[in-house]
Amino acid sequence: MDRRNPDSIGTVGLKSTPPDNDFNCNYLATPTKLNGEEHVALVWRNVRVSCTLTGGCSYIIRDVSGALQPGSLVALMGPSGAGKSTLMTALAHRSAANTLVSGSILLNGQHVGPSMYDVSGFIYQDELFYASITVSEHLHLMAHLKLGRSLSAPDRNELVRELLCRTGLTKCAHTRIGEVGQGKTLSGGEKKRLAFASELLSRPKILFCDEPTTGLDSYSAGQLVAMMRDLTRGGTSVLCTIHQPSDELFHMFDSVMLLANGRVGYLGSPRGATGYFERLGLVCPGSSTTAEFLLKSLSNRRECRGTKSLKPEAICDRYLQSEQFQQQELVINSEIFLSQYGYRKRCLKRRKQDGRSCWFYTLYYLMKRNFLQSHRDPTLQYMKLAQRIVIALLVGLCFSNTIDLTQAGAQAVQGIIFLIVSENTFLPMYAMLAVFPESFPLFLRERKANLYGTMQFYVAQILAMLPFVLLESLSFILIVYYLAHLRPTLLGLLCTVGTSVLVMNISLACGCFFSTLFPSVPMAMSYLVPFDYILMITSGIFIKIRSMPVVLRWLPFVSWMMFATEAISIAQWDGIEHLNCTGVPRAACHHSGEDVLSQYSFAREHLRTDLGALVGQYFLFHALAVLCLMRRANRS
């Protein structure tokens, strides 16, 4: 219970928060020290939302007006498909890209825009987290991402501690969030509370909650609504969609907005709702809760009918002539008046500082989050490393006694070069395909909330992977090099290792490109397989580039396998003067390293071009991947 504020016990006898530890939890219900200017009011008038898909789509929301006054707890209710989520995302300035919002939505008198992200939080119906990090780590990382450098380390720690305490998560602070089927994970209710705590980090003035109680038992749902009520005591306004709350929960809200087919059927106090509907001739049977009765009344398939049978459209028409509608108009007008005459602050404070330092600061914490996620997932990283080591041992041992300065040795060297290049190409490329589709939904939400940009997200993903990529690539090539007795010179080793690492990075970049270009892994896979064949055919091992049909001679230039095979071949053969021709006809014999290279149309003068082309392809694929990601994010 809040010790400063005795009123923080819910109206239905639910304590605002279970006292699960000895901490003083005074974050949520901190009585507002703000004067009227610091409050944020949201009013909306004649809001319409339509979707812009080709093939046409009618209005989802039609001429909806209302107000969210500072410190109020408002429930948004309606039958499934009534448009609750659509209205809420429009008010929160987080609408899907394929929807068009018209009408006025005013935040302290100003048309709503990106400043909404600085004053509001949004709790989605399905909460998304990085599963491998702990609750406490998640809150600390989110504090860095949301608040930047605006808080000192002790203040940040204190804030996280307070929120853990207030949301009853202290006992699972060091539990990994987890996913279903991963051993110990947070329960559904704990995840909801964590989503709640994450949004409260930035002390939002408005909190939008999309069905936060769905999937919770009645006690947990009661706790959550009580928590929201506590929050409103600090001046925060909460708009919350909710499905069929119990009577206790229903009456905890200050007002309720009922939607039917995208229109308002009632907006007013929960207490007045039953009476209002009774005056329309719709009577609630004793067995129903108030919410059930209201939803059935507004549903197209109604069971709850009174003497008069009003259709949802007629109920919405009657609302426009009601006293409740007139009262709402007064509230909207008074809020507009308060904003116009300076009682509501127009320039809302930004959460984070702008500028370069903030860009790198955010990048660092995104990288840290990605690193923790991949580092802690043994199935993903350590299994991959073990797999690479096993393959390296296999390849190295198979070739261990085959490499010498003979004709057979020359063939073995070219064979192992092909294996090195293809091993560094195909596995990493396919491993990347799932990365962006998996992280895209969370990225989209956080990007919409203005936490970071596409470039920061992309660079963080790549940099966080880099240590593992280097480890995998180096362990593979060093084992193979040593066991197969490849050329024992420093230059040969450096050039081979450097090219292999580069090849692995290009393959990752190409995998990123395919994974951002296509919306799903199977689709990306179906295009990647033919591309793999182009890579292999043009690697220079199977066919001389000069003997390919003229129209296809450009293909090798999109194939890093050709440049890499040539670079490593040069590293292995350049400067070798003599090869043993015993048992081979003189005409078919390679007398020197240069002969071996020329058999594949390779030449030592190409080395710089090869390395330059590899570096160029690395940047090209990353640039294409970023463009695709931006395009997809803008369209979502």
Of 66 and 234, CB closest to ligand ATP: 66
Of 122 and 481, CB closest to ligand ATP: 122
Which phi and psi angles does 598 have, rounded to 5°? -70, -25
Of 91 and 304, CB closest to ligand ATP: 91
**626 alpha-carbon distance from chain centroid:** 15
Residue 516: both structure tokens together: 């951002």
- Give min distance, CB of 187 to ligand ATP, in A: 22
**156 alpha-carbon distance from chain centroid:** 23
Of 54 and 80, CB closest to ligand ATP: 80
Closest Cα to residue 162, out of 2, 370, 347?
2
Pairing of strands 120-123, 206-210: parallel
- Give min distance, CB of 91 to ligand ATP, in A: 12
Residue 409 binding ligand ATP, by CB under 6 A: no
User: Contacts with ligand ATP in 569-628 (CB under 6 A)?
Assistant: none
Closest Cα to residue 177, out of 231, 205, 137, 119?
137
Of 147 and 259, CB closest to ligand ATP: 259
Q: For ligand ATP, which residue of 51, 548, 603, 620 counts as binding (CB under 6 A)?
A: 51
How many amino acids of this chain bind ligand ATP (CB under 6 A)?
15
Q: Which residue, chain included where needed, has tokens 């040795």?
A: 409
- Give min distance, CB of 293 to ligand ATP, in A: 17
Residue 228: both structure tokens together: 């929201």
Count CA atoms closer than 13 A to 6's CA, side-chain side. 0
Alpha-carbon distance of 309 to 315, in angstroms, equals 10
Residue 57 binding ligand ATP, by CB under 6 A: yes
Exposed/middle/buried for residue 478 (C-beta within 10 Å: 0-12, 13-18, 19+): middle
Of 76 and 280, CB closest to ligand ATP: 76
Local structure of 503: helix, strand or coil = helix
- Give min distance, CB of 240 to ligand ATP, in A: 12
Of 97 and 397, CB closest to ligand ATP: 97
SS3 content of the chain, % helix, strand, coil (to 5): 55, 10, 35
- Give min distance, CB of 96 to ligand ATP, in A: 4
Contact mark string toward ligand ATP, 67..96, x via CB under 6 A: -----------x-xxxxxxx---------x
- Give min distance, CB of 114 to ligand ATP, in A: 20
Local structure of 403: helix, strand or coil = coil
- Give min distance, CB of 88 to ligand ATP, in A: 8
- Give min distance, CB of 211 to ligand ATP, in A: 7
Closest Cα to residue 481, out of 423, 562, 541?
423
**402 alpha-carbon distance from chain centroid:** 50
Alpha-carbon distance of 165 to 270, in angstroms, equals 31
- Give min distance, CB of 518 to ligand ATP, in A: 21
Of 55 and 154, CB closest to ligand ATP: 55
Residue 555 binding ligand ATP, by CB under 6 A: no
Contact mark string toward ligand ATP, 94..133, x via CB under 6 A: --x-xx----------------------------------
Report the first-to-last Cα separation within the chain, whole angstroms.
42
Give residues in contact with ligand ATP (CB under 6 A). Answer: 51, 53, 57, 60, 78, 80-86, 96, 98-99
